[in-house]
């Protein structure tokens, strides 16, 4: 491996799927492959074939898998392509391998062009359907998931698929009390925006979709990140950027200000408000204003980010102004913006346990972040471990009795951070074993001795806790250092590295993007991997997450579970001896907890709903089903202030209004989000109670030992 590449290989673990926003593009031209795309594809072939953990040869067999995955990426619900389209491109099943090897990318772009043509025909179908009337007395059904259905054989069959889809959307709005005129306006706008977003991708977007179809055939966590996606990934790891400090969102034909980040230039200036629409951007007070109306948010963001202390001018249509209202210009100076809402945070929950007041410290850790760029320059760099160390110090000053690390929805991050964070709770020893494709192993050990927290410890996980989260939770569990609470974790037991293709190709500009490539597996110090099976908690809690369709086991090409020889380590506690008593007290408590029982009932109901594959389009049947669901929801809300306490809720306990998230007013959307965040978290409450039980049991055990030692002999 070249020295330059070795220096660039920053080791990361994490469930960072490359995301692509299917939104309106600035350019109306049909996307075409560029020389940079060909270079990136050829470079990626060599990298994956040499360094991937288990890359199969790029041959006709793999070509067929790439072809199917690319079709699925373009048309996952099989709502646009006909079987004849698939047949027309069937030659590519056995030729994509040689095309990639030679940098010939015409076929993927031709397939995308056919897709956009089909989308235009569907637009015509939808316009016709919205002009007609639906009969809701007919007993017919709608199947929302068509991912495994056959491709439509004809235009008429495709029209029938869309007729039922539009009818279902119409029925939902109708049942919410909307009249036909309002429904027609809502759906016309909805479909117009959706179809615009799906057809007007630029060349880099199409290339990224195709590259990820290829990378995804190897295993789930190998991805191609285009230049913009690579920059976003870097920001997510260092939790800072240079910009104006505003969270942006697409809404109608504008990119709007959804949130002002504390400490950022936008909030400090007092010149921007939530809901303001960005109509133009200029790179300085005398620079030309670029009209960005109708642009994608990921195309506007690069114009707003920039160099420290540089000037940016925004053309703003105020939130309360009509579409033809008066614009105003806002001048801001770019500055470093810290994303504190994505950093570790601490709080204290007070509980009563056997009449005694106990303080349970809680640290919410959204990811295992580390500013690797700053680390290379200075020992004072931003990291998850540093932030957690500081928060523990603050909690200790408040004299907490136990500490709970909340890793729910933590998808991973830096391997270094997973290891060093473990060292805050275990004095020394191994944390995780890595094994490369040649079977060679390397043990990652705690870098320094000396714990930051020696008291009772708990780790709260859910199905979305992945990778580095699983390393940390598994180590705490294997050492017997603390109790793991929640549900089976994601099951990602693989190691990725990022390779910067621009640096590899010595490109002075960002043209080629990055490859996130699986190069090893990690194993618990007890020998088993977390791959596929995840970490199983010591005490289980109910969940609203669809475990069957979310997690490593949901991937068709995930690596299997396996085991290697364990390494020597010294136990750091004897939590196992407390588990029977902790589990008993937990079961006795939740059996009397109305909120917890209602949460459990909601989780069971959601699992039942997930098994429903089709919905009736007969209004009387649909209304009866809705009335039964709302009655159960009202019964729950009447007796409880139930909340999921996490971002894993499928729907709030409200009636279906038939609208998509961006169709509701921004104020209502933000209010609902605020309510979810401030609502009771029954899972966190019970986890704190379990730790309170642990504190009591440990104190009782300690008192018993003291009594035994002091007993006359």
Sequence spans of domains, the chain: 19-225, 240-338, 341-576
pLDDT in tens, 420-467: 999 999 999 999 999 999 999 999 999 877 899 999 999 999 999 999
pLDDT of residue 423: 97
Q: Which residue among 478, 500, 538, 648 is the active-site one?
A: 478
Cα–chain center distance at 300: 22
pLDDT at 635: 74
Range with the poorest average pLDDT among 523-537, 552-566, 699-713:
699-713
Annotated catalytic residue 492: yes
Residue 65 has which token pair? Answer: 């898998």
Nearest residue to 334 via CA among 308, 316, 314, 313: 308
Q: How far apart are CA 145 and CA 77, in angstroms?
A: 7
pLDDT at 82 over 50: yes
Average pLDDT over residues 72-90: 97
The highest-level CATH class for domain 240-338 is mainly beta
105-119, 375-389, 617-631, 654-668, range with greatest mean pLDDT = 105-119
Two tokens, residue 707:
């009594």
Looking at the predicted structure, is the pLDDT value of residue 262 above 50?
Answer: yes
Higher pLDDT, 209 or 510: 209
Over the stretch 42-67, which tens digit does the pLDDT of each residue have? Answer: 999 999 998 999 888 899 999 999 99
In this predicted model, which residue has the larger pLDDT, 194 or 113? 113
Q: What is the pLDDT of residue 88?
A: 97
Q: What pLDDT score does 373 carry?
A: 83
Separation CA 264–CA 245 (nearest Å): 4
Catalytic annotation, pick one of 167, 200, 492, 516: 492
Q: What SS3 state is found at 104?
A: coil
pLDDT of 672: 85
Query: Choosing from 63, 414, 420, 467, which is the catalytic residue?
Result: 467
Crossing angle of the two packed helices 155-175 and 619-639, in degrees rounded to 10: 40
Structure confidence at residue 354 (pLDDT): 82
CB atoms within 10 A of CB 193: 19
| Cβ-based neighbours of 652, under 8 Å, separated by 6 or more | 672, 676
Average pLDDT of 527-534?
96
Tally of CA atoms within 13 A in the half-sphere of 319 that contains its CB: 13
Percent pLDDT > 70 in the chain is 92
Q: Is residue 661 scored above 90 in pLDDT?
A: no
What tokens appear for 61 in the block?
A: 């067999």
In this prediction, residue 645 has a pLDDT band, given cuts at 50, 70 and 90, of very low
Q: Decide if 324 contacts 290 (C-beta within 8 A).
A: no
pLDDT of residue 639: 58
Instruction: Let me know: does 470 contact 535? Beta carbons within 8 Å.
Output: yes
Specify the CATH superfamily of domain 341-576: 2-enoyl-CoA Hydratase; Chain A, domain 1 (3.90.226.10)
Strand extents, DSSP E, 168-276: 223-225, 240-243, 246-251, 254-260
Active site residue 478: yes
- For the record, the structure tokens of 383 come out as 């990291």
pLDDT tens figures, 16-37: 222 332 333 333 478 999 999 9
> Given pLDDT bands bounded at 50, 70 and 90, which one contains residue 14?
very low
703 among known catalytic residues? no
Gap between the Cα atoms of 13 and 381, Å rounded: 19
Nearest CA to 344 among 246, 421, 427, 234?
A: 421
pLDDT of residue 655: 65
């Amino acid at each position: 491996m070249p020295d330059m590449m070795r220096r660039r290989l920053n080791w990361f673990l994490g469930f960072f799927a490359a995301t692509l926003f299917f939104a309106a593009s600035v350019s109306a031209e049909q996307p075409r492959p560029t020389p940079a795309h060909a270079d990136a594809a050829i470079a990626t072939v060599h990298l994956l074939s040499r360094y991937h953990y288990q890359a199969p040869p790029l041959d006709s067999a793999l070509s067929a898998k790439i072809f199917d995955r690319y079709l699925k990426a373009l048309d996952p619900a099989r709502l646009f392509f006909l079987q004849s389209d698939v047949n027309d491109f069937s030659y590519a099943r056995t030729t994509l391998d040689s095309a990639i090897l030679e940098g010939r990318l015409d076929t993927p772009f031709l397939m995308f062009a056919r897709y956009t043509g089909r989308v235009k025909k569907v637009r015509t179908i939808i316009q016709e359907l919205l002009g007609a009337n639906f009969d809701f007395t007919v007993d017919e059904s709608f199947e929302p998931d068509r991912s495994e259905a056959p491709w439509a054989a004809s235009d008429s069959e495709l029209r029938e698929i869309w007729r039922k889809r539009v009818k279902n959307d119409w029925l939902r709005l109708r049942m919410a009390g909307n009249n036909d005129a309002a429904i027609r306006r809502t759906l016309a706008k909805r479909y117009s925006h959706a179809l615009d977003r799906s057809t007007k991708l630029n060349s880099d977007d199409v290339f990224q979709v195709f590259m990820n179809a290829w990378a995804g055939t190897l295993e789930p966590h190998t991805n191609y990140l285009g230049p913009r996606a690579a920059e976003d990934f870097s920001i997510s790891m260092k939790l800072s950027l240079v910009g104006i400090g505003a969270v942006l969102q697409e809404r109608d034909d504008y990119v709007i200000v959804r949130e002002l980040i504390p400490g950022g230039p936008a909030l400090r200036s007092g010149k921007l408000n939530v809901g303001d629409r960005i109509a133009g951007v200029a790179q300085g007070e005398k620079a030309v204003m670029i009209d960005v109306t109708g642009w994608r948010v990921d195309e506007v963001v690069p114009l707003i980010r920039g160099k420290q202390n540089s000037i940016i001018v925004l053309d703003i249509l105020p939130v309360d102004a009509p579409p033809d209202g008066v614009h105003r210009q806002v001048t801001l100076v770019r500055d470093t913006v810290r994303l504190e809402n994505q950093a570790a945070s601490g709080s204290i929950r007070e509980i009563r346990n056997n009449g005694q007041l106990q303080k349970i410290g809680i640290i919410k850790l959204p990811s295992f972040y580390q500013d690797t760029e700053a680390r290379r320059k200075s020992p004072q760099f931003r990291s998850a471990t540093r932030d957690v160390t500081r928060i523990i110090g603050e909690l200790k000053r408040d004299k907490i009795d136990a500490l709970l690390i909340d890793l729910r929805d933590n998808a991973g991050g830096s391997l270094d951070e997973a290891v060093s964070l473990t060292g805050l709770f275990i004095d020394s020893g191994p944390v995780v074993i890595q094994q490369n494709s040649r079977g060679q192993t390397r043990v990652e050990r705690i870098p320094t001795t000396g714990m930051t927290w020696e008291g009772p410890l708990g780790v709260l996980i859910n199905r979305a806790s992945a990778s580095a989260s699983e390393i940390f939770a598994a180590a705490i569990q294997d050492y017997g250092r603390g109790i793991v609470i929640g549900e089976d974790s994601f099951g990602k037991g693989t190691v990725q590295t990022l390779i910067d293709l621009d640096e590899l190709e010595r490109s002075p500009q960002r043209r080629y993007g990055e490859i996130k490539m699986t190069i090893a597996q990690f194993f618990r110090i007890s020998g088993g991997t977390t791959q596929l099976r995840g970490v199983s908690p010591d005490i289980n809690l109910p969940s609203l997450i669809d475990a069957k369709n979310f997690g490593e086991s949901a991937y068709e090409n995930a690596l299997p579970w396996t085991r290697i020889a364990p390494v020597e380590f010294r136990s750091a506690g004897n939590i196992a001896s407390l588990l029977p008593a902790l589990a008993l007290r937990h079961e006795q408590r939740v059996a009397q907890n109305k909120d917890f029982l209602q949460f459990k009932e909601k989780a069971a109901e959601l699992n039942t709903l997930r098994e429903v594959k089709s919905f009736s389009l007969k209004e009387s049947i649909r209304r009866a089903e809705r009335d039964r669901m709302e009655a159960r929801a009202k019964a729950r809300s009447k007796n409880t202030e139930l909340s999921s306490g996490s971002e894993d809720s499928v729907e709030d306990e409200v009636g279906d209004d038939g609208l998509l998230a961006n169709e509701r007013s921004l104020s209502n959307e933000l209010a609902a989000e605020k309510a979810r965040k401030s609502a009771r978290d029954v899972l966190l409450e019970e986890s704190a109670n379990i730790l309170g039980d642990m504190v009591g049991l440990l104190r009782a055990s300690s008192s018993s030992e003291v009594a035994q030692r002091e007993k006359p002999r």
